[in-house]
Amino acid sequence: MSRPLGALLAPPLSVVTAGVDLFPRALRDQGTAVEVVDWRPPAFGDPADLAALAADPRRVAANRGAAERILAAGAELVDVRPAADALGLPRDLFLHAGPPIDFENASGPLRGALIGAALFEGLAADSDEAVHILQSGRIRLEPCHHHRAVGPMAGVTTASMWVSELRDPVNGGTAYCSLNEGLGKVLRYGAYSAEVIDRLRWMGDVLGPVLSAALSESGPVDIKSILAQMLQMGDEGHNRNRAGSLMFLRDLAPAIAESGVPAVQVADVLRFIGGNEHFFLNYGMPAAKLALDAARDIPGSSVVVAMARNGTEFGIQTSGTGDAWFTGPALTPDGLFLGGYGPDDANPDIGDSAIMETLGVGGFSMAAAPAIVRFVGGTVPDALATTRRMFAITVAENPAYAIPVLEFRGAPTGIDVLSVARTGILPQINTGMAGRVAGTGQVGAGLVKPPQVCFEKALAALAALARV
């Protein structure tokens, strides 16, 4: 060690810290003096807008009404069938994650998934032809969210793909989601090689029909109940779905065995579901969509009912502002990478899966899933602190989604645009990371937030309506 540096470190250290308390705690444990500054992110928003929204006499009751519908919502898986039937999708209409976007502005993984879908639908013989057709506009693109559907990552859903149908027996809604393909080289992460297309064909030929037959045999599967139990079992419902996937397998395995297909196909389906610890995500997402759709269109409510990303833009919708999207450029997650991948390989944030955080689980309930830090990065104290922080920007606690380590406190639920602006605390999302280049697949998983501008725009729109 050089002399000057030695001199610098010779006197007793004194450190000033701000933000999470892990760092000062570690220093104190080592006997170092620490001065903690009570730093908070700066609030934002036009003061006149903040005042107008705060003064809206409808707001408190409207937000309470939104929260009540979200908390009351149920979610039952009732059917699995092709999207052509379930959603009435024509072959030339491709659904995608996030707010509206065209092919020109699509990022790599969305382009890759759209190319793969064109190949899977037999609309193109190779990727060049698929790009040509997509550029020509002969294939129309619309958000999943505009069709009562949600899709993880690229979220591309087309006529021949089998989708799950979920019903909310309380509020009466219906929601749809594709079947989960597993991790790695999969369509939703933008991969479109032969193995990806072959897997999609098997899912349409075997998995979908077997699940459909099993559901006829077993009756509806209570997805809300599984989600509730997951939070007691170290899952948070977005990037940890291990217990959820196992409970889903448990609930349907006997009926799969009795679905009438040969034993080898029964075993293949059990092996596919059992080998994919994210299988349940595609049931949790439409369950969240059901709850949040039930809270839409309440005049005066500043509660967020959708957060979704198309890989280029992040968009949010609020209960009080109808079908408007408030968008900004999607940020790139910070996290852990697979194999030889690094930060330069990651695409900006993508997928409808932030519907889990909109419901109050996922990143909002990481305290229930401390082991997730090994997948998305961060530390266990950070995971606990994140959940505690989210209570500051939400209007309710969901007793159905109780977090044991917080002494069974309910998940922080119902993001309030006004609270986000007043505190400057943005919602915490955890997410998979897709490769930037079309065809790559998954490169990692991490933590990300919406761009602040989404909330600035929503605040302005809500304030404008409050002044009417």
Residues forming contacts to a copy of itself in the complex (CB under 8 A) are 229, 232-235, 242-243, 246-247, 249-251, 253-255, 257-258, 260, 263-264, 266-268, 270-271, 274, 370-371, 373, 379-381, 384, 404-405, 407-408
Q: Left if phi > 0, otherwise alpha if psi is -120 to 50, otherwise beta: which for 153? A: left
> What is the nearest approach in angstroms of a copy of itself to the Cβ of residue 404?
4
CB of 430 to a copy of itself, least distance (A): 15
Which residue in this structure is represented by tokens 């217990």? 243
Q: For residues 174 and 229, which CB has a smaller minimum distance to a copy of itself in the complex?
A: 229
Strands, E assignment, 62-161: 76-82, 93-96, 140-143, 149-150
Nearer to a copy of itself, 214 or 417 (CB): 214
Which lies closer to a copy of itself via its Cβ, residue 103 or residue 248? Answer: 248
| Rounded least distance, CB 180 to a copy of itself, Å | 15
Render the burial of 358-395: b for 16+ CB within 10 Å, e for the rest.
bbbbbbbbbbbbbebbebbbbeebbbbbbbebbbebbb
Considering the complex, state which of residue 91 and residue 242 has its C-beta at the smaller distance from a copy of itself.
242
Closest to a copy of itself by CB, 337 vs 375, is: 375
The amino acid at 201: R
Rounded distance, CA 22 to CA 438, Å?
Answer: 38
Least spacing, CB of residue 325 vs a copy of itself, in Å: 37
* Minimum CB–partner distance for residue 206 and a copy of itself (Å): 14
DSSP annotation of 189 = G
d(CA 365, CA 333): 18
What are the helix (H) ranges across 203-241?
A: 208-218, 223-230
Question: Which residues share a beta bridge with 77?
Answer: 166, 221
Smallest separation (angstroms) from a copy of itself to the CB of 173: 29
| Smallest distance, a copy of itself to C-beta of residue 250, A | 4
User: What type of residue sits at position 242?
Assistant: R
Q: Which residue has the tokens 């695409």?
A: 347
Smallest gap from Cβ 252 to a copy of itself, in A, equals: 10
Residue among 194 and 263 whose Cβ is closer to a copy of itself: 263
Any residues with CB less than 8 A from the CB of 11 and at least 6 apart, and which? none
Contact partners, residue 95, CB within 8 Å, separation at least 6:
83, 87, 89, 141, 142, 143, 144, 146, 147, 149, 151, 155, 156, 157, 158
In whole angstroms, what is the distance from residue 108 CA to residue 87 CA?
26
Closer to a copy of itself by CB, 137 or 274: give it: 274
- Nearest alpha-carbon partner for 315 in 305, 323, 324, 326: 326
How many angstroms separate the first and last alpha carbons of the chain?
68
Smallest distance from a copy of itself to CB 246, Å: 4
Residue 258 CB, shortest distance to a copy of itself, in Å, is 5
To the nearest 10 degrees (0 to 180), the angle between helices 281-293 and 242-257 is 100
